[in-house]
Amino acid sequence: MTGNAEGTNGGEERAETEVASNDRRAVVAKRVDDGDADLTEISQLAAAAGYEVVDELTQTRTEDAAFMFGEGKVAELRDRVCRADADAVILDNDVGPYQTFNIGGKLPEGVEVIDRFTLILEIFGQRANTRKAQLQVELAELRYELPRAEAKASLAKRDERPGFMGLGEYDESVERDIKRQISEIRDELDSIADKEQARREQRRDSGFDLVALAGYTNAGKSTLMRRLAAEMDVDENADRHPDLDTTAESQDMLFTTLGTTTRRAEMEKRDVLLTDTVGFIADLPHWLVESFESTLDSVYRADLVLLVVDASESVEAMREKLVTSHDTLYERNEAPIVTVFNKVDRLAPGELADKRAALSGVAPDPVAVSAKTGAGVAELRDRVESELPEWERERLVLPVSDDAMSLVSWIHDHGHVADETYASDQVTVDFEAKPSIVARARSKAAGLASAESA
């Protein structure tokens, strides 16, 4: 997530996809200060939450303190709701509780008013099928409610009455209870994060490099992951490494992947674990991003990040998403970032070169691929291996023994053996590996030498 959102416990890493049934009808609306309002993303979000978008309304004007939109526009909104027999109005704006109450008062009884962030939280709630995901959604909901609770408490005190602008009774204990719940959830998420960090270090100690996929939702991250994991035609139920999970589903739907999915990627030399996580979306507030901080740790703590961008979008949309993604990633991420222009199969001849040139300032050396067709994926694999932290080269001469053969096997499992030569009484192993692996191999070799001389 961005703008401005690993596994939790073994096989629970993956949040299963739930396909929305679209059995609710909604009118989507948006107000902008200037220019033209774009309802594309809010309509996709509505569909992801299970709504059928039956009408749209936009307005360009300054914000109205009471209604967000102008009063006349709210009347038009009511008429559209009635004609479409809609169950809800979804507003692509950050609407205050007072504005929400006023708009709802102008609509037919039973029609729900939902703002952008409430809709996103609803989607997250539908996708949250692990304890960690459920905790993060609950945390986000509480952080969303807290300032509203504080505002209600403040106004109730000022007015010396228990209500808030007609929104009903309010008890100050609600605010205290929200803060208590936030603290308890943070403690549990910290405990989960500690276990996940230990798990990441265990994977590194086993010789794996950790690569994370990042980018806006619908950029094709899950499809790219399947391609890199060489699973396009692989039986999902086939035997696999017990520590890893099936890859994320690939669907044209926002938030197909809410949690994280980790799979072993197919590389020439390096052992790579690739993690796909929740997609970024635009204009998310800081409190919502913070709620999913532990999910983003799989990106922040990776050895390399692949920032996936939909190359079929306009240059302006690509630039905006790249800038926002960089702002989010560079805030805490220390790993190299490789930009991946995906969906190049949708581009006309010459279009890719034009986009490379136009975006060179924010994506100086992107890798162009089509996760769908496989074009450019071989080049991406090479780029991943070249961008990962450098390995050390080592040459060990070992006495021929059962323990030495065990060490040679261990080196094969944790690094890349360039040459292995046997003589009558010794074996020479020339290999590359992570510095930590090389250090452990040297230590094991020294132990063998000491045992041999004793």
Q: Residues at the annotated binding site?
A: 215-222, 257, 276-279, 342-345, 370-372
Q: What order do you get walking across the sheet with 271-276 strand by strand?
A: 261-265, 271-276, 208-215, 304-310, 337-342, 367-368
Amino acid in position 102: N
pTM of the model: 0.67
Average pLDDT over residues 183-201: 86
Token output for 11: 């096989």
Top-confidence residue, 29 or 244: 29
| pLDDT of 355 | 97
Q: Which residues are annotated as a binding site for GTP?
A: 215-222, 276-279, 342-345, 370-372
124-128, 136-140, 357-361, 418-422: which is most confident: 357-361
Q: Is residue 410 predicted with pLDDT exceeding 80?
A: yes
Q: Which positions make up the binding site for Mg(2+)?
A: 222, 257
pLDDT, tens only, 257-304: 456 788 999 888 888 999 887 677 766 666 667 667 766 777 888 889
Two domains, one topology: 10-125 and 209-387: yes
- Whole-number Å distance between alpha carbons of 56 and 80: 8
Question: What CATH superfamily classification does 209-387 receive?
Answer: P-loop containing nucleotide triphosphate hydrolases (3.40.50.300)
Beta carbons within 8 Å of 97's beta carbon, 6+ residues apart: 148, 151, 152, 164, 165, 167
Domain 392-453: assigned CATH number: 3.30.70
CATH number belonging to the domain at 10-125, selected among 3.30.70.270, 3.30.1330.60, 3.40.50.11060, 3.40.50.1970: 3.40.50.11060
Instruction: Please report, for the chain, the start and end positions of each structural domain, with discontinuous segments joined by +.
Output: 10-125, 128-197, 209-387, 392-453
